Structure 1
């Protein structure tokens, strides 16, 4: 189209990373076009944090992220910190509070964060086009041409912020991966992360009639071949299909099909050890009374029934104690992308420059946010990666 305007930058995707990047680039005086396939911007933001948007975590650092290259996120996270985004939130006089473990939430609604980003984009003269799906793009002598459902647009730079495959009902697609592949970039196989586990039919019969019961536990995996073994101490929750709760969502990002997950169901106590005393009662009722102090009654009863020792000798009691602190559960799978809060995997960090987020093979083409193989823990970490990676890309334009 001969009348197509030429932009300094086209940002694909009006989620957290895309809107923030567009606003930051526009604030530098660049002519920016923000394209979104959906009918409104920030749809995933609106459902985050139970509708209150857990917009960052004050403890966010590289150790809170999963990637083939655990060092990749260091640069961006160091240059745009949680304090930087908190300052922006305070500038807009959005009341917020710390819930637990450094997680910051709006006192009101997640809409406040969406409105902040929309205002930042308007103030930076960002041109936004909704209901504009990207079909394909190609490199030109002066930059890139983006083919969309609303026509063609050209720019010197393109930033891909199209997210992952999580929650397809909100419009999630793999278009960002398709773009990366079309330029010869490697993709780390995407998988559902921060997602509930499902159980086999047999295991479901054993546990899922207790749906709704929860307990504090430590969730972990078998020792990792590389790096430290992750451990998360938070609530676990029995669902009608398997296991959920914060600790389960956290460990799900590290889990692979067929692997065992270990639950420590009494992180602070040796529950059955008192029974080793010479004059202490040793029977089912005593064991249940001790366990009931740490688990809901029906959950304690079921666990003890399923893990009952052959006798109450010292060796059996010791083994029962050990099993309580490393109870193996083998998920049949997960609830998949439909229920996953984020997508792990994505554009390989080996393909990107960590300071600019641009593809090493394709200068001017950057990838930010969830589309990149950087996945944060539950609790505001993925939003902080969105802000930090967006800032890094915008500053390099």
Structure 2
């Protein structure tokens, strides 16, 4: 929609084809219905891509401040939450309605219930592409000068996620990188799963680390495993078989803290001491895992070496997920149309004039926190300037 009204404001005649019964479904469900529409601090380091520089041009051409200005222009109330994330104060519907108003004002035509059948490049005439589609059971054929692929990706198929954008890319000789679910909860198959079931609903702040990246946010225990912002963020850097390192006491050298506590609170039990830092239900589980034989001993009777080991485990709990929940619950798809075949300045396919790719279908994936929406706005605006 942002691409559509940007192009229409330039005098282009624009038609948006939407597969679902209404536009903006992913916007409506995001952020618990409040839509985390951008972030105050947006940098290339907030994105994953085989080419980490690719996103820079579009992000600088249409910044978070540009979108915030549009939101304010429409009188939409918003708030800043942790990690500089911006959310609608009332409803995500405000963002959808804003985009629809801009489209309407610019003369954009939107048609729903459209299922794409086939795309063909034309060899002659003013139109470059021919499209066949099924619209609510009626077969249609359209031609256009520019075709923008804004199909999203494989995540959340119930909201229309599909691989049709990749099929179009391959049809025109564009490579597609390996894809996998991103910003997705972890699952476990061993005793960890049983523990997660018992702790389901409990959230605790942790630092999650994998393959050299770390995030300090809440971790949520679920019936299937672990979720919450920290785990969703680190899932982008995890591959099957990789260990996850969880620091349950971020910013605290737990081994030193325990040794000092032993000197100052010799009669206390370890579970009592840890109650200052962690929820009791989690401590009970860790006690069974790490010091079952010493659970009723006062600190004075626990050896320094044992306390050091427990402290090291608190700062570096090593977990081996059996997998993730996959595309069903993933917020994004990692990978996509290879950016090597796309102009970073225009988002047009280098070898296929008039064919553009924007948003999640490309191999550009943002961290949690409004970055994927900002990439949608930035890439959409950029393509809208050139179609």
User: TM-score, with normalisation over the residues of structure 2?
Assistant: 0.92
Match for residue 281 of structure 2 among 272, 282, 298: 298
1:374 is the counterpart of 2:357 = no
The correspondence for 1:183, drawn from 172, 181, 186, is: 172
Residue in structure 1 matched with residue 240 of structure 2 by the alignment: 257
Alignment-derived partner of residue 157 in structure 1: 146
Q: 1:1-397, aligned counterparts within 5 Å? A: 19-141=1-123, 142-150=127-135, 151-222=140-211, 229-277=212-260, 279=263, 286-308=269-291, 312-397=302-387
Query: Displacement of 1:350 after TM fit?
Result: 1.2
Q: Secondary structure at the match of 1:305?
A: helix
- Asked whether the equivalents of residues 255 and 312 of structure 2 are also in contact (C-alpha less than 8 Å), the reply is no
Separation of aligned partners in 2, 1:265 and 1:83: 36
Which string of whole-angstrom CA distances, capped at 9 and with x for unpartnered residues, describes residues 162-220 of structure 1?
Answer: 00111111121111111111111111122111111111143212332110111100011
- Separation in 2, partners of 1:66, 1:255: 13
Q: CA deviation at 1:280?
A: 5.2
User: Partners of 2:293 and 2:315 in 1: how far apart?
Assistant: 19
- State the 1:254 CA deviation: 1.2
Shift of 1:368: 0.5
Runs (4 or more) in structure 1 with deviation over 3 Å come to 277-283, 309-312
**Gap change, CA 1:27 and 1:210, over 3 Å in 2:** same
Aligned residues: 372
Conservation of the 8 A alpha-carbon contact between 2:7 and 2:386: no
SS of match in other structure, 1:316: helix
Per-residue displacement from partner, 1:237-286 (whole Å, max 9, x unpaired)? 10001000110111111111111111110002233424435845669x63
SS in 2 for 1:152: strand
Unaligned runs of 5+ in 1: 1-18, 223-228
Return the alpha-carbon distance in structure 2 between the equivalents of residues 70 and 319 of structure 1: 39
Change in 2 beyond 3 A, CA 1:281/1:109: closer
1:328 is paired with a residue whose SS is strand
The 10-residue stretch of structure 1 (112-121 or 136-145) with the greater mean CA deviation from structure 2: 136-145
Q: In angstroms, what is the RMSD of aligned CA positions?
A: 1.7
Distance in 2 separating the partners of 1:42 and 1:357 = 22
Q: Cα distance, 1:309 vs. partner?
A: 8.4
| 1:8 corresponds to | none
- Say if 1:328 and 1:144 are closer, same or farther in 2 by CA, change over 3 A: same
CA distance change for structure 1 residues 279 and 248 in 2, over 3 Å: closer, same or farther?
closer
2:7–2:14 contact (8 Å) kept in structure 1: yes
Per-residue CA distance 1:36-84 (angstroms, 9 max, x = gap) = 1111010111011110111110101111001111111111101111000
Q: Report the alpha carbon displacement of residue 99 of structure 1 after superposing the two structures with TM.
A: 1.3
2 CA distance for matches of 1:332 and 1:266?
24
Shift in CA distance, 148/303, structure 1 to aligned 2, threshold 3 Å: same
**What secondary structure sits across from 1:350 in the alignment?**
helix
**Alpha carbons 1:55, 1:104 under 8 Å: kept:** yes
2:49–2:335 CA contact under 8 A, matched in 1 = yes
Distance (Å, rounded) in 1 between the aligned partners of 2:263 and 2:86: 50
1:124–1:297: structure 2 CA closer, same or farther, 3 Å change rule? same
- 1:358 touches 1:366 (CA, 8 Å); kept in 2? yes
Distance 1:274 1:112, change over 3 A: closer
- Asked whether the equivalents of residues 196 and 224 of structure 2 are also in contact (C-alpha less than 8 Å), the reply is no
Residues 37, 279 of structure 1: alpha-carbon distance in 2 compared, 3 angstrom cutoff: closer
Query: Is the alpha carbon distance of 1:390 and 1:310 closer, same or farther for their aligned partners in structure 2, counting shifts above 3 Å?
Result: same
Structure 1 residue matching 2:219: 3-state secondary structure: strand
The structural deviation recorded for 1:330 is: 1.0
